[in-house]
């Protein structure tokens, strides 16, 4: 059973209303039931079954985000069993780890962590992992997979709004989230804001692959559950991330062979061939927080 939210992780988040610090007045190291209070406005945020709930106090969502959250809540119990998920995660994780290494001892934020597949893989080696998602049901599935006292904090929040403290993480990762958010500006700015200097940002998002283009698949749309998506080219995503971080690199990964057994998938070699990787299903983008990149433009708004 999930021991609860680690009290040592409260300084990493802040009050969604006025960005004031949150304090816990109890003495437990892990909190399953309790509350934290904003020092500035006094508002109390509940912790239920170990999940810190900030989302209930955030302003009402726009239609696209509300549909996304409702769909993720509903699908949470079966998300991990959808056909492609385990092998997709294995492939993406390998590529992400290459960018994050060494992760030993690092404090990592997983934005849009969903049911925790990535975060759980990082936990044994990382110093701590915070999973943030606006789907409380997905976080509940994540919590059910944690079976001992771990340095993992679960927060329900809309990550487009500022709920993170400055310079609190060594690395931020986000898998398959950017594509579902029509305006990524505040999301990217918040992720940069909470990174420590020289910290690493790594994310993946749907790729507008050459075969999808040739087969006439649209670039934007809504999936069967009503979740909005946008398919990126690698250049497009790199440019967008560069707008916030001042640097970036992006490449397609995840060739559409994921149903083959692992030993039959020559991923690494094939993904290096420029023509072949244009068939990749996902774009991987990385950036680092360098001293010269802009701080201005940080917002607490969500489009």
Interface ranges with Zn ion (CB under 5 A): 15, 17-18, 20, 38, 40-41
Alpha helices (H) along 85-222: 85-100, 117-122, 136-145, 185-194, 210-214
230 binds ligand SAM (CB under 6 A): no
Indicate whether 252 belongs to the interface with ligand SAM (CB under 6 A). Answer: no
Report CA dihedral (302, 82, 206, 76) to the nearest 10 degrees: 10
- Of 41-49, 172-180, 208-216, 244-252, which segment contacts ligand SAM by CB under 6 A? 172-180
68 belongs to the binding site for ligand SAM (CB under 6 A): yes
CA atoms within 13 A on the CB side of 17: 12
Minimum CB distance to Zn ion, residue 20 (Å): 4
Residues 278-297 that bind ligand SAM (CB under 6 A): none
Q: Residue 1 corresponds to which tokens in the numbers above?
A: 């059973």
| Neighbouring residues of 50: CB distance < 8 A, sequence distance ≥ 6 | 2, 3, 4, 5, 30, 31, 32, 143, 154
Q: Which is nearer to Zn ion, 247 or 300 (CB)?
A: 300
Confirm or reject binding of residue 133 to ligand SAM (CB under 6 A): yes
75 contact choice in Zn ion, ligand SAM, none (CB below 5 to 8 Å, kind-dependent)? none
Q: How far is the CB of 302 from Zn ion (least distance, A)?
A: 18
DSSP labels for 16-42?
Answer: TTT-PBEE--S--SEESEEEEEETTT-
From the list Zn ion, ligand SAM, none, partner contacted by residue 113 (C-beta under 5 to 8 A by kind):
ligand SAM
Strands 107-111 and 169-175: parallel
Comparison of 74 and 247: residue with beta carbon closer to ligand SAM = 74
Q: Is 136 in the site for ligand SAM (CB under 6 A)?
A: no
138 near ligand SAM, judged by CB under 6 A: yes
List, in order, residues 6 or more apart from 177 with CB less than 8 Å away. Answer: 111, 112, 187, 203, 205
Residue tagged 């994310």 (tokens): 203
Residue 72 sits in the site that holds ligand SAM (CB under 6 A): yes
Q: Which residues bind ligand SAM (CB under 6 A)?
A: 68-69, 72, 112-114, 117-118, 132-135, 138, 158-160, 175-177, 180-181
């Amino acid at each position: 059973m999930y021991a609860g939210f680690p009290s040592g992780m409260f300084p990493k988040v802040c009050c969604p209303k006025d960005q004031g610090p949150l304090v816990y007045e109890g003495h437990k190291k892990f909190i399953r039931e309790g509350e934290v209070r904003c020092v500035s406005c006094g508002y109390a945020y509940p912790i239920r079954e170990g999940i810190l709930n900030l989302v209930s106090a955030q302003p009402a969502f726009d239609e696209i985000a509300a549909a996304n959250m409702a769909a993720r809540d509903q699908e949470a119990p079966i998300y991990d069993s959808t056909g492609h998920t385990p092998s997709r995660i294995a492939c993406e994780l390998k590529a992400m780890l290459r960018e994050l290494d060494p992760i030993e001892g690092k404090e990592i934020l997983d934005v849009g962590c969903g049911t925790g597949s990535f975060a759980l893989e990082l936990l044994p080696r990382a110093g701590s992992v915070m999973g943030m998602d606006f789907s409380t049901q997905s976080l509940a599935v994540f919590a059910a997979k944690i079976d001992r006292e771990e340095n993992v904090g679960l927060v329900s929040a809309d990550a487009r709004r500022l709920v993170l403290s400055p310079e609190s993480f060594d690395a931020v990762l986000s898998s398959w989230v950017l594509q579902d958010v029509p305006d990524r500006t505040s999301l990217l700015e918040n992720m940069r804001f909470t990174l420590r200097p020289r910290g690493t940002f790594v994310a993946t998002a749907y790729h507008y692959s050459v075969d999808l283009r040739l087969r006439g698949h649209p670039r934007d749309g809504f999936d069967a559950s009503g979740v909005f998506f946008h398919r990126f080219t690698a250049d497009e995503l790199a440019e967008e991330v560069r707008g916030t971080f001042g640097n970036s690199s992006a490449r397609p990964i995840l060739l559409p062979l994921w149903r083959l057994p692992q030993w039959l998938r020559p991923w690494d070699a094939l993904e290096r061939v420029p023509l072949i990787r244009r068939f990749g299903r996902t774009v991987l983008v990385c950036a680092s927080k360098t001293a010269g990149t802009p701080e201005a433009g940080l917002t607490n708004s969500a489009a």
